Structure 1
Amino acid sequence: MERDGVERLLAEAGVDGRRLRHALASLCDGRWWTLATLVRHTATSRRTIESLLGVLDLERSGDRFRVAETHRPAFQDLLAVAPPPEDPVGHLVPHYEAVLDRLRELVAGAPRARHTLDHVAATPDTILRRALLLGARFWLPGARLLCVGDHDLTSLAVKLVHPETDVTVADVDDRILAYIDEQDLGVRTRWADLRLTLPTSARDHDLAITDPPYTPEGIGLFVARAVEGVKDDGRVLLAYGASERTPALALKVQNALSALNLAYEAIYPDFNRYFGAEAIGSAADLYILRPTTRTRPAAAARLDRAATAIYTQGPQSVESAPAADAPTQPEGPADLLVGDWPASLPHTRVKLSTWLAKPYAATVERVAIAVPAGLEAALPRLLLATRAAHVEVHLTAPPAVPAALAPVYDFTTSGTVLHATRRPLPDDPEGLLLRRILDNGHAKLANSWREGLIAAARAQDGALTKNEARTLIRQTAPWSDALSPVEAPLHRLTTLPTHIATTLTLLHTPL
């Protein structure tokens, strides 16, 4: 009966039965397996593996199992004797054991996954092989790589294997950005909620790599942002996986890619492996996509109609209902509404994405901002994007006051509404320079800092050239080049006062 059940499954699977035969061969090779490791090893969905396990009489030890040695001969003629398709860079991995050991430490120490962002960690072996494939297919010395989201820490793998590559990460999770910066490998970090914007300083790259939420909406958005971040002759590498049971979902995603007019240069099956995502076999293919002359207009059109619901879980999932507690009107007078407000309100309004992307042209004194559930990480940046005297922010839960903005605003809360009142300019040089930077949220941070140092030197009857000011800043905060406050990770804004104090002290030190 045991063999009959296996034969029935193989017959039902048809040509796709190689997955089952591979799993059966693994179970018969003498090693102990858990469900998670067998799913990941075979890149086969959990449901398919469970169907095979259900017809086998397995030897068990705790949560581990295998086919007993006495039963193995009965299955020898059913096993897949050839291995899965060859890994294009698997032969290189043994030469990077030290790097792989380091990546194991980095992945183990990374911030915990957030299910509302569809985080599933790639294995250390996967991110190493991503770095190796990039180097095997492209010339990386001097090349610029953009990681469009990087919970997997691919940026660190690339810098460990190809330190001469210029790498930038754009991510919504401030914890990830801080963790990457802590490693001091020279990766540039930029805060970005890709549902709203791609930072100006994250453009003009040669290559982009992304492992986005596996919904058609998530894939379409993240790949469109990757296109926005690369040159016309660049490439976009995409990790995407679907269960062998759901080809229709894979088709929807590929239709979203086709709508961007991208050419498929390569697809490496099951290249990526994960800790989790067992519904898709803990695996994903790796696509190499090349923009055409029709891609950039298509990406721009896609971004113009971008929705924020792109995830499989949480308040921003594609199946989430519109928030019942969305604001209906500001609590106080407002010159401008930012975000989604009822159409009946007579106020001038602007999109959240536009608000973050560029300074609002007109001078306004009072602004009301509606922040939907799931976009709370944008709060500090939405406040930095204006010089209005009063900002009223409506959220869906009691807000956490951004401590890094305490030098700019006095905060009060009323339920789920945050009132931010701009503080008067301080008298001390450090506070004045900090405000000069933070009051110009869209300007390059280093430029505001430079002009502030020159003004501080002049106030002390001294003189400081632009080059001298740049040198002081680069010595103290080399991360600040080309970065604006609205793009800055929170940990950079938090430590900014200390760095400013250092540069003011250095004004009195010979260069």
Structure 2
Amino acid sequence: MDRDRVERLLREAGTDSRRLRHALTLLCGGQWWTLAALVRETATARRTVETLLHELPLEYTGKTFRIPLTDTPAYQDLLALAPPPEDPVAHLLPHYAHELERLTTLIAQAPRARHVLDHVSATPETVLRRALLLGARFWLPGARLLCVGDHDLTSLAVKLIHPETDVTVIDIDDRILAYIDDQRLDVRTRWADLRLGLPPSARNHDLALTDPPYTPEGTGLFVARAVEGLKEDGRVLLAYGTSDRTPMLAFKVQQALSDLNLTYEAIYPDFNRYFGAEAIGSAADLYILRPTTKTRPAVTSRLTRQATAIYTQGPQSIEAAKPPAQKSPAPEPTGPTPDLLVGDWPKDLAQPRVKLSTWLAKPYAAAPDRVAIALPPGLEAALPRLLLATRASHVRVLCADLPPLPDVLSAVYELSTDGGVLDAVRLPQPGGDAASVLRRILDNGHAKLANTWREALIAVARAQGSTLTKNEARTLIREAAPWSEDLTPLEAPLHCLSSLPKAVSTTVAALTTTT
């Protein structure tokens, strides 16, 4: 470990040696560093940083290290004297110390990351800077922002800094949606598995922001759904990063963006920093993308070819997707012959079939009595919604790893499991006003929840010999469940569905005083 070897390393890196020189500058500054902190601060791949550290005379205290102060003079002429490219909103951070403190607490207390969803948490400074950049580049009062996935909690940062902005979050992780709602910052939450579709209420936004799985398939899908949620003149803000060692991966992702016919209005290098993701330097660029007149047709075409494998880890990772010749055989329906097959079934079966995405998007035209659903690994979060998407008397689900189901489904089905098979037998219509209103809502999974609820309350009041106006019914619903406006049961987060029985009972009990 000597200076000559460090010089050779820098010389071999050529024009890309600035990152290494930045790391060397920090190590010579007297501060103690952990490997993770040095990677994040320099936005340099862990392996690249480790290569430099291997050539340096380091001193340690615990897990932290630095170049001894007595050795730093030997490296002074190798240091990067100029700082990295300027952060466009760094000068604003000192004015938001209180908000940064609150975001630090919110991120620390958020649900733990799920590796099968490629979760890596952005730093509190990053989500604050995203909110500041949005406000610096766009006029946010009255603007509508769609967060396409929000494990990073950028939605909360935006509401703290720009409370006049209308913010909606769509996410597959019900824990994240519940946590965001618990903060009571007036963020709308919607459940969605983007492989299966965009919620009907998540459209016509001015801006969309997404930090997707860093695969070409994942980035292409999340950006395509973000465009679906935009107005014609909207923008997509995309966080994406890759290692300086894998430029071909960046090319494939940018090719996926190019295929959507988007223009690049700006790219802010290393704008996003993370706790983890050290393989890519714990950093990602921030892209601002603008749709063109050719973008929406390209998005439609892209989504017709959508596969479910979009992640880097877990059962729906790109690596786990087997070539067609090695693909596991499709399931065979068991028990009584179903009238309709939903999902991926053997082609030689005679029954009519429908895709999972179509099943969730709109009511099936016919009225099948028995339905069989094949649910592949990694899509289990969709199961409650798949059950609410039909009025069939018997639904059989084949799923290797059946998840726990919310208690609210017991208002509709008698549920039983046997290994990887779930049988859901529809219950008769219940007695009692509250139970009948709840059942009517859950029987109309594709309809707007508040509209069905309103009409059911009016019917109950009429049966009681009273009159309830639409406005009176809306007021009762808004007071009992302020989250219920403009969404369907299929896009409602599970914590909202679970609160529905109590809220319905409250509105039914209030009929006696209202009427």
Tell me the equivalent position of 2:444: 440
- 2:381 is aligned with 1:366: no
Alignment partner of 1:233: what SS? strand
Per-residue CA deviations over 1:36-69 (Å, capped at 9, x if unaligned) read 0000000000000000000001010111000000
Contact 1:170 1:190 in 2 (8 A): yes
- 2:207 is aligned with 1:203: no
Task: Report how far residue 510 of structure 1 moved.
Answer: 4.2
Alignment map for 1:331-342 (pairs within 5 Å)? 331-342=335-346
C-alpha distance in 2, partners of 1:347/1:27? 67
Task: Report how far residue 398 of structure 1 moved.
Answer: 4.2
Task: Report how far residue 412 of structure 1 moved.
Answer: 1.1
Tell me the equivalent position of 2:244: 244
**Are residues 329 and 46 of structure 1, via their aligned partners in 2, closer, same or farther at CA, if it must alter by over 3 Å?**
same
Tell me the equivalent position of 1:39: 39
Alignment map for 1:413-428 (pairs within 5 Å)? 413-428=417-432
Task: Report how far residue 319 of structure 1 moved.
Answer: 1.3
C-alpha distance in 2, partners of 1:508/1:455? 14
Tell me the equivalent position of 1:150: 150
Task: Report how far residue 325 of structure 1 moved.
Answer: 6.5
C-alpha distance in 2, partners of 1:175/1:450? 28
C-alpha distance in 2, partners of 1:326/1:43? 44
Moved more, 319-328 or 63-72: 319-328
Tell me the equivalent position of 1:16: 16
C-alpha distance in 1, partners of 2:165/2:480? 23
- 2:91 is aligned with 1:87: no
Per-residue CA deviations over 1:373-412 (Å, capped at 9, x if unaligned) read 0000000000000011110000012443332211000011
Amino acid at match of 1:369: I
C-alpha distance in 2, partners of 1:238/1:450? 39
Contact 1:239 1:286 in 2 (8 A): yes
Task: Report how far residue 331 of structure 1 moved.
Answer: 2.9
Alignment partner of 1:80: what SS? coil
Contact 1:111 1:176 in 2 (8 A): yes
Task: Report how far residue 196 of structure 1 moved.
Answer: 0.7
Amino acid at match of 2:250: A
C-alpha distance in 2, partners of 1:402/1:319? 32
Tell me the equivalent position of 2:167: 167
C-alpha distance in 1, partners of 2:209/2:478? 28
Tell me the equivalent position of 2:122: 122
Contact 2:380 2:402 in 1 (8 A): no
Alignment map for 1:286-297 (pairs within 5 Å)? 286-297=286-297
Tell me the equivalent position of 1:405: 409
When normalised by structure 1's length, the TM-score is: 0.99
Contact 1:45 1:279 in 2 (8 A): yes
Task: Report how far residue 5 of structure 1 moved.
Answer: 1.4
C-alpha distance in 1, partners of 2:335/2:316? 26
Alignment partner of 2:337: what SS? coil
Equivalent residue in structure 2 for 1:430, among 428, 434, 438: 434
State the Cα RMSD in Å: 1.0
Contact 2:178 2:495 in 1 (8 A): yes
Amino acid at match of 1:417: V
Task: Report how far residue 464 of structure 1 moved.
Answer: 0.4
C-alpha distance in 1, partners of 2:404/2:68? 56
Equivalent residue in structure 2 for 1:475, among 479, 482, 485: 479
Alignment partner of 2:66: what SS? strand
- 2:480 is aligned with 1:496: no
- 2:63 is aligned with 1:59: no
Tell me the equivalent position of 1:312: 312
C-alpha distance in 2, partners of 1:206/1:29? 44
C-alpha distance in 2, partners of 1:510/1:200? 32
C-alpha distance in 1, partners of 2:8/2:161? 47
Alignment partner of 1:141: what SS? coil
Structure 2: where are the runs of 5+ without partners?
Answer: none
Contact 2:406 2:498 in 1 (8 A): no
Deviating runs (4+, > 6 A) in structure 1? none
Alignment partner of 2:71: what SS? helix
Alignment map for 1:128-139 (pairs within 5 Å)? 128-139=128-139
- 2:225 is aligned with 1:225: yes
Task: Report how far residue 475 of structure 1 moved.
Answer: 1.4
Task: Report how far residue 326 of structure 1 moved.
Answer: 4.1
Contact 2:408 2:501 in 1 (8 A): no
Moved more, 161-170 or 396-405: 396-405
Amino acid at match of 1:18: R
Task: Report how far residue 507 of structure 1 moved.
Answer: 1.3
C-alpha distance in 1, partners of 2:270/2:466? 63
Tell me the equivalent position of 1:353: 357
Same amino acid, percent of matched pairs: 72
Tell me the equivalent position of 1:461: 465
Amino acid at match of 2:389: A
Structure 1: where are the runs of 5+ without partners?
Answer: none
Tell me the equivalent position of 1:265: 265
When normalised by structure 2's length, the TM-score is: 0.98
Alignment partner of 2:513: what SS? coil
Task: Report how far residue 96 of structure 1 moved.
Answer: 0.4
